[in-house]
């Protein structure tokens, strides 16, 4: 039984369709990310779930109750925006208590909620400060504390980490995920950052053109993408068009390669992750090629090899510089299990 069910949600702005045919079932306590490029409809979807935008079509059901027509404050959801939306003339405590005041709690209960929320985001002792007296990361924590203080059933996060620098963002991913687990709070995160979605989510809904292209665990989407968009959007991949020859072989250019094909004939698209390819000296077998470029990225080498299938990108985390040079003749090897093959029709979905 899903806790939050989104059924056939759509949003039109005049003639423009921003979201269409959006279905998602979120379980209680689950962390789900809406991941996709700018303009794919993530924020519009989140705003409809929060109640800030009326859907053109569809229903939102929370714990068995249709909440589509409820006002935002009646939905029991905490929202954290990209801009944090803190009131600059209010202290941290006043910012957090703002959402509680409408709930008519006693002073004692309110004080406890504020202090608990501040402790949760590790901001004890900073309640009397104004937002301008805080760092970006601390402001973001206040916004999270404010959303959590109302003890929401669902936490909605709209790119809350995007204003932080890369290192702080990584720390917040870990911290935010720990808080979410500790509270067991059902959470939906909107992001265009793949790493953010992969590190934090139980499941990711990859969005494209206002629809979900694929929804699954991060690992399943990475290893078994179900359409071209998900394959290319999540991580890097080598993509080839070819023809299935059997359930075990595909032909790309003039070469027949071992690969698990979903069909025994017809056009297919073949995907191979850069880190699944091994580079051997020429003459030791494998697909022959010539190293065109070598890039050192600290934690890995990125190698571009020219082959009969076209240019192939390879990432080698453990390679030593001396082992490879531009212009080297090499052989490329991989396991057929690491090749993903979709029919042309599957690939063009989503």
Q: How far is the CB of 335 from ligand ATP (least distance, A)?
A: 36
Asked if 244 and 342 count as a contact pair (C-beta separation under 8 A), the reply is: no
Q: With respect to ligand ATP, which residue has the nearer C-beta, 35 or 270?
A: 35
Give all strands (DSSP E) within the chain, no chain letters.
4-13, 16-26, 31-35, 57-62, 65-66, 77-80, 154-158, 186-191, 203-208, 211-216, 238-244, 249-252, 255-258, 266-272, 278-281, 287-296, 301-307, 310-316, 329-333, 339-343
Q: Which of 24, 26, 30, 44 binds ligand ATP (CB under 6 A)?
A: 44
Closest Cα partner for 186 from 77, 100, 96? Answer: 77
- From 31-39, 68-76, 174-182, 291-299, span contacting ligand ATP (CB under 6 A): 31-39
Q: With respect to ligand ATP, which residue has the nearer C-beta, 37 or 184?
A: 37
Does 99 help bind ligand ATP (rule: CB under 6 A)? no
Q: With respect to ligand ATP, which residue has the nearer C-beta, 43 or 187?
A: 43
Does 15 help bind ligand ATP (rule: CB under 6 A)? no
Does 58 help bind ligand ATP (rule: CB under 6 A)? no
For the beta carbon of residue 148, count every other beta carbon within 10 angstroms.
23
Q: Which of 8, 39, 262, 266 binds ligand ATP (CB under 6 A)?
A: 39
Q: Which of 75, 139, 192, 340 binds ligand ATP (CB under 6 A)?
A: 192
Closest Cα partner for 326 from 348, 286, 295? Answer: 295
Does 41 help bind ligand ATP (rule: CB under 6 A)? yes
Give the integer Cα–Cα distance in Å for 226 and 203. Answer: 15
- From 11-19, 100-108, 249-257, 294-302, span contacting ligand ATP (CB under 6 A): 11-19
Q: Which two tokens stand for residue 339?
A: 């090749």
Q: Which of 9, 31, 32, 42 binds ligand ATP (CB under 6 A)?
A: 42
Closest Cα partner for 229 from 210, 202, 249, 201? Answer: 210
Q: Which two tokens stand for residue 205?
A: 């809904």
Does 13 help bind ligand ATP (rule: CB under 6 A)? yes
Q: Which of 43, 97, 194, 315 binds ligand ATP (CB under 6 A)?
A: 43
- From 38-46, 122-130, 147-155, 239-247, span contacting ligand ATP (CB under 6 A): 38-46
Closest Cα partner for 229 from 260, 208, 258? Answer: 208
Q: With respect to ligand ATP, which residue has the nearer C-beta, 92 or 205?
A: 205
Does 332 help bind ligand ATP (rule: CB under 6 A)? no
Does 38 help bind ligand ATP (rule: CB under 6 A)? yes
Give the integer Cα–Cα distance in Å for 272 and 340. Answer: 7
CA dihedral 186, 18, 44, 182 (to 10 degrees): 20
Q: With respect to ligand ATP, which residue has the nearer C-beta, 126 or 232?
A: 232
Q: How far is the CB of 163 from ligand ATP (least distance, A)?
A: 13
Q: With respect to ligand ATP, which residue has the nearer C-beta, 74 or 83?
A: 83
Does 299 help bind ligand ATP (rule: CB under 6 A)? no
Does 33 help bind ligand ATP (rule: CB under 6 A)? no
CA distances from 192 to 164, 172, 204, 314, 338 (A): 14, 16, 11, 24, 26
- From 25-33, 37-45, 214-222, 323-331, span contacting ligand ATP (CB under 6 A): 37-45
Q: How far is the CB of 224 from ligand ATP (least distance, A)?
A: 24
Closest Cα partner for 9 from 31, 28, 26? Answer: 26
Q: How many residues does the chain have?
A: 350
Helix, strand, or coil (residue 326): coil
Give the integer Cα–Cα distance in Å for 300 and 318. Answer: 7
Does 40 help bind ligand ATP (rule: CB under 6 A)? yes
Q: How far is the CB of 5 from ligand ATP (least distance, A)?
A: 20
- Rg over alpha carbons for the chain, rounded to the nearest Å, is 24
Binding site for ligand ATP (CB under 6 A): 13, 16, 18, 36, 38-44, 192
């Amino acid at each position: 039984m899903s806790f939050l069910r989104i059924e056939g949600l759509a949003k039109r702005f005049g003639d423009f369709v921003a979201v269409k045919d959006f279905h998602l079932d979120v379980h209680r306590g689950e962390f789900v990310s809406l991941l996709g490029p700018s303009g794919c409809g993530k924020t519009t979807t989140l705003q409809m779930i929060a109640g800030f935008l009326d859907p053109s079509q569809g229903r939102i059901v929370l714990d068995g109750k249709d909440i589509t027509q409820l006002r935002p404050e009646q939905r029991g959801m905490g929202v954290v925006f990209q801009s944090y939306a803190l009131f600059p003339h209010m202290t941290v405590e006043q910012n957090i208590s703002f959402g509680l005041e409408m709930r008519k709690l006693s002073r004692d209960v309110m004080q406890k909620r504020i202090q608990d929320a501040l402790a949760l985001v590790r901001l004890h002792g900073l309640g009397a400060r104004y937002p301008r007296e805080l760092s970006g990361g601390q402001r973001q924590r206040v916004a999270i504390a404010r959303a959590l203080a109302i003890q929401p059933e669902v936490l909605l996060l709209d790119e809350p980490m995007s204003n932080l620098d890369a290192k702080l963002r990584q720390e917040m991913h870990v911290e935010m995920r720990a808080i979410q687990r500790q509270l067991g709070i059902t959470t939906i995160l909107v992001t265009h950052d793949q790493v953010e979605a992969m590190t934090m989510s139980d499941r990711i809904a990859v969005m494209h053109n206002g629809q979900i292209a694929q929804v699954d665990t991060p690992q399943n989407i990475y290893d078994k993408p179900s359409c071209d968009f998900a394959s290319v959007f999540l991580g890097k991949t080598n993509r080839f068009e070819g023809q299935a020859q059997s359930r075990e072989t595909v032909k790309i250019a003039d070469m027949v390669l071992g690969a698990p094909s979903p069909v025994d004939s017809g056009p297919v698209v073949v995907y191979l992750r850069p880190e699944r390819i091994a580079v051997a000296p020429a003459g030791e077998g494998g697909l022959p090629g010539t190293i065109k470029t070598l890039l050192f990225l600290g934690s890995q080498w990125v190698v571009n090899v020219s082959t009969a299938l076209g240019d192939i990108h390879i990432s080698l985390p453990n390679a030593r510089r001396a082992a490879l040079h531009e212009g080297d003749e090499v052989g490329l090897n991989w396991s057929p299990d690491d090749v993903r093959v979709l029919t042309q029709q599957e690939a063009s979905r989503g």
